[in-house]
Amino acid sequence: PGGGPGLAMRTVEDLLGIPINYFLQVDFSAFARFIDEIKGVKVYIQEPMTVSIIGSNKHVNLEPGWVTLPGDIALAYARSRNTAGDDFDRSDRQQQIIMAIRERILSFDMLPTLVLKAPTLYKTISDGIHTNLSLAQIIRLAWLAQQIPEENIKLTAIGKSEVIAGKSPDDEDIY
């Protein structure tokens, strides 16, 4: 009570001064299952890196270049902090994955199929999705989102130049 999505919505409202009416929270397994449902995401790996698959002792080496990642590896890639830019690189990779999901769905014209399968797909992954949106609203949002040209999508993230490095009371590195 007083925390979770409601607190996040109020915090963003206070910060930006605009109302936040809806939230969507997707857990790791639902995210990975959705990526698998769309047959992976194609991303460009900038530098060699090793990612760890959640829930296993499996590690995957990724080499620079274009690659199509299945759900578990896409999740590990998006969550990894094992690069020189730490959390800043991770933020960029998360945006890269989001845009790769969009590209995958649009380039293979998957949206009509996903909409037809939405009730079954939603039932399959709904245990990992928490939202105040109805399934009908999610479908309408997906149809609207596909109409936005990619050049009209602006991606931003906090970079190293916008923060000050410091230490927490228990001597952890913080920004």
In the structure, what pLDDT confidence band is assigned to residue 113 with cuts at 50, 70 and 90?
confident
Extract the tokens encoding 108.
């293979």
β partners of residue 25 = 130
Q: Are 60 and 40 in contact (CB under 8 A)?
A: no
Q: Given this model, what pLDDT does residue 108 score?
A: 78
Q: Are 115 and 139 in contact (CB under 8 A)?
A: yes
Specify burial of residue 91 (Cβ count, 10 A radius: 0-12, 13-18, 19+): middle
All residues at 6 or more sequence positions from 126 whose CB lies less than 8 Å from its CB, including other chains: 30
Alpha carbon distance 155, 85 (integer Å): 18
Q: What is the mean pLDDT of the chain?
A: 92
| Digit-coded pLDDT (tens) for 44-103 | 999 999 999 998 999 999 999 999 999 999 999 999 988 887 889 999 999 999 999 999
Average pLDDT over residues 21-44: 95
β partners of residue 167 = 173
